[in-house]
A and B are shown apart, each in its own frame.
Chain A
Amino acid sequence: MKSRPLPTDPKILQLIRRAGAAQVARRSVLAGAGAGAAALALAACGSGSSAKPVAATDKSESDKTLTWANWAAYIDEDDAGAYPTLVAFTEETGIEVNYDVAVDDNNTYYGKVKDQLALGKEIGADLVCLTDWMVSRWIRFGYTQKLDHSNIPNLANLTPSLVDVDFDPGREYSVPWQGGFAGVCWNTEKVPGGITSVDDLWDPALKGRVGVLSEMRDTIGLLMLQNGVDISGDWGDEDFTAANDVFAKQVDDGQVRNIKGNSYLEDLKNEDTLAAICWSGDITVLNAEAGDKWQFALPSAGGTLWNDNFLVPIGSPRKANAEALINYYYEPEVAAEVAAWVNFITPVEGAKEAAMAIDPELAENQLIFPNAETLAQAHVFRALTGAEEQKYNAEFQSVLLGA
């Protein structure tokens, strides 16, 4: 590592310090001498320090605002486009919430904010909802603030099975927002026989009409379960590769039509795909939107269970406000109201009973309020280490990118 004399200009010096915090030292000097010529000198060298960013000082007392970055259609919404539960929260606490539909993919959102996170800067959100594996990465990198459980007394309502998750034992940094299953779904008009296992998707009659998800843990998770692997347990490279090989073969053979994220619903709608690996809540919404002709099921070998979790980014100075909001959404009545709208699984105990009062049929829906029997069929993909994540992602992506 080479060190160079620092320039004297205070502005440039400050820039260097900032850049240095991101393990990047960058110097750009603009020399404007001569006939309009500009020279750019840029020296860079890694500054090795992998120190984690430091949490911002909390200003919640004086600043009663909060920005919440979340996914689309992931909170109750009325016809006027307002969010009834959030309006009630503001009335109750005086905290103004800016609900920002800023997340449409874990990876793109991460790509957008990672540099600010590494510097410990604000990312334009005080509360973010991201999926388990992405949360695991944020916690590993020190990008989240430790939550003060005394500010979230309602956390006692958290479903017991979600308290000691492997990426955050005791839920010190993250709290579940909503969850869901990945399983199989099919077009009941075109596939009247239905789909009961992942192997049914490889039926020659469905050649070229099968969709799978680009979310590695769901697609490979289901395939591993089909191979008899306990995805929450202590599996290794061979188990992953075996499942990935099945996946690669079905893609190569043209059995699988396409591999998609959220847009897989379009393919189901226009019938490019007749059966697919799907997320539970989506099918309820799709049926309501485009005619009742799709059905979702957990495959016989089991499906995956994932959660999106609240996080307070490291640079946010409004942690106490965020904790107040988490606490609010852990009231069973509020949770039931949200569940009735978004159709995903609520992690709040007592929400089912509260939902009984609103809509008994809803409370019986196994995809929103699963009972112990249903939950026993769903498995959580264990947390991966950084090295594993890198390796498995590369294997999975090589199928997605083809040769």
Chain B
Amino acid sequence: MAFAAFATQAAPVEAAPRRRSRMALFLLLPGILYLVLFFLTPLISLLLTSLQAPREFGDIGQYDYAFNWQNYVTVIDDYLPHILRSFGYALAATVFALLFSYPLAYFIGVKARRWPLLQSLMLVLVIAPFFISFLLRTLAWKQILSDESVVITSLKALSLLAPDAHFTGTPVAVIFGLTYNFIPFMTLPLYSALERLDTRYLEAGSDLYAGPFTVFRKVTVPLSMPGIVAGTLLTFIPAAGDYINASRDFLGGPDTQMMGNVIEANFLVLLNYPAAAALSIILMAVILIMVSIYVKRSGTEDLL
């Protein structure tokens, strides 16, 4: 199955021979070079930039290397609401995506087992949005949900929305966009976990007088935990750093700006490179800390 790439149940790996092999080293070299060049070097450069200080009598955008750690204090002071908002939106989007994807993945992975054709078809449908650019899909939602669109006008006609209510440019729109855009990243790992769910465990559960809900809670969820963890990580991490959905040019407005948008504005418009770099480092650090706590607590360390 093509989705084996998302395989979540770690197969026992045989211990590799301890002998140092030149061949192995040689084979590792391209990967290491790549990482050093395109990950480590930019990361160090980012760290150094985040500590720069404005040049004395310098023009806009002119900075010198220094050890100006106050940059971090300043950006947290200036942009704390945006930092909190980013993680809040990302969390909301992750929860919604999980609530939406779990039944979907369960249906494809468990219920549809009898009809392989339906199963494949539904998987294709989950992946289909990837055939269209992320930007275009988001723009399309902006059009579909604009003030004079059929959707919004009918909701207003049905009094489900206040007559002067808007959708685009609101936090709801941004969370909606994030949820929509990351659903496949949630569904696929869940599917690959549920696809291998042994239904005999479920039978055993009900034989032991567990109700359907208890079986779900005590058997299905724990068995699909690796999928849940992988899916939530694949959704939460990029959603926290996303700056397309919240951008004023897409679904966002002035009061929905996330960290990515702040970094963009600092880098491109304000030419405050140290602030942009400091915010990027903070974003990375917070995600790293949150993810390690999460993975530790959900007992799926072997995933990483």
Complex interface residues of chain B between 226 and 276 (CB less than 8 A to chain A): 248-249, 253-257, 261-262, 265, 267-271
Would A386 and B59 count as touching, CB distance under 8 A?
A: yes
The count of residues in chain B whose C-beta lies closer than 8 Å to any C-beta of chain A is: 51
Would B248 and A260 count as touching, CB distance under 8 A?
A: yes
Would A389 and B60 count as touching, CB distance under 8 A?
A: yes
Contacts of A401 in B (CB 8 A): 79, 82, 254, 257, 261-262, 265
**What band does the interface of chain A fall in when counting residues whose beta carbon is under 8 Å from B?**
35 or more
Would B32 and A36 count as touching, CB distance under 8 A?
A: yes
Say how far B183's CB is from chain A's closest CB, in angstroms.
25
Would B41 and A257 count as touching, CB distance under 8 A?
A: no
Per-residue interface assignment for chain A, residues 232 to 268, with 1 indicating a CB less than 8 Å from any chain B CB and 0 otherwise: 0000000000000000000100001111110100110
- Residue in A141, A258, A263, A386 whose CB lies within 8 Å of B254: A258
Say how far B210's CB is from chain A's closest CB, in angstroms.
50
Contacts of A402 in B (CB 8 A): 81, 253-257
Tell me the bound Cα distance from A230 to B91 in angstroms. Answer: 48
Would B41 and A28 count as touching, CB distance under 8 A?
A: yes
B303 part of interface (Cβ distance < 8 Å) = no
A354 part of interface (Cβ distance < 8 Å) = no
Would B268 and A111 count as touching, CB distance under 8 A?
A: yes
A165 part of interface (Cβ distance < 8 Å) = no
- Residue in B28, B41, B166, B262 whose CB lies within 8 Å of A208: B166
Would A403 and B29 count as touching, CB distance under 8 A?
A: no
Would B41 and A36 count as touching, CB distance under 8 A?
A: no
Contacts A40-B41, A42-B44, A401-B257 given; does A208 touch B64 at CB 8 Å: no
The residue of chain B having its C-beta at the shortest distance from the C-beta of A24 within the complex is B65
Per-residue interface assignment for chain B, residues 70 to 89, with 1 indicating a CB less than 8 Å from any chain A CB and 0 otherwise: 00000000010110000000
A3 part of interface (Cβ distance < 8 Å) = no
Say how far B42's CB is from chain A's closest CB, in angstroms.
11
* Segment of A147-155, A296-304, A326-334, A390-398 engaged in the interface with chain B: A390-398
Complex interface residues of chain A between 108 and 126 (CB less than 8 A to chain B): 108, 110-111, 114
Would B257 and A38 count as touching, CB distance under 8 A?
A: no
* Segment of B4-12, B113-121, B145-153, B187-195 engaged in the interface with chain A: B145-153
Say how far B303's CB is from chain A's closest CB, in angstroms.
24
Contacts A50-B62, A207-B164, A251-B254 given; does A107 touch B147 at CB 8 Å: no
Would A108 and B268 count as touching, CB distance under 8 A?
A: yes
Would B270 and A390 count as touching, CB distance under 8 A?
A: yes
A44 part of interface (Cβ distance < 8 Å) = yes
Would B40 and A263 count as touching, CB distance under 8 A?
A: no
Say how far B279's CB is from chain A's closest CB, in angstroms.
12
Complex interface residues of chain A between 207 and 222 (CB less than 8 A to chain B): 207-209, 214
Tell me the bound Cα distance from A131 to B59 in angstroms. Answer: 19
A400 part of interface (Cβ distance < 8 Å) = yes
Tell me the bound Cα distance from A267 to B139 in angstroms. Answer: 11
Tell me the bound Cα distance from A393 to B139 in angstroms. Answer: 28
The residue of chain B having its C-beta at the shortest distance from the C-beta of A34 within the complex is B25
Tell me the bound Cα distance from A259 to B265 in angstroms. Answer: 13
Would A45 and B41 count as touching, CB distance under 8 A?
A: no
B200 part of interface (Cβ distance < 8 Å) = no
Say how far B32's CB is from chain A's closest CB, in angstroms.
5
A399 part of interface (Cβ distance < 8 Å) = yes
Would A38 and B33 count as touching, CB distance under 8 A?
A: yes
Tell me the bound Cα distance from A107 to B269 in angstroms. Answer: 6
* Interface hub of B65, B139, B168, B256 (most chain A Cβ within 10 A): B65
A14 part of interface (Cβ distance < 8 Å) = no
Say how far B20's CB is from chain A's closest CB, in angstroms.
6
Contacts A397-B265, A401-B265 given; does A40 touch B40 at CB 8 Å: yes
Given A36-B25, A258-B253, A261-B249, 4 more pairs with CB closer than 8 A: A38-B36, A40-B44, A393-B269, A401-B265
Name 17 A/B residue pairs within 8 A (Cβ), A-sorted. Answer: A36-B32, A38-B33, A38-B36, A46-B65, A107-B269, A111-B268, A114-B61, A140-B59, A214-B248, A270-B142, A270-B149, A271-B146, A393-B60, A401-B254, A401-B261, A402-B253, A402-B256
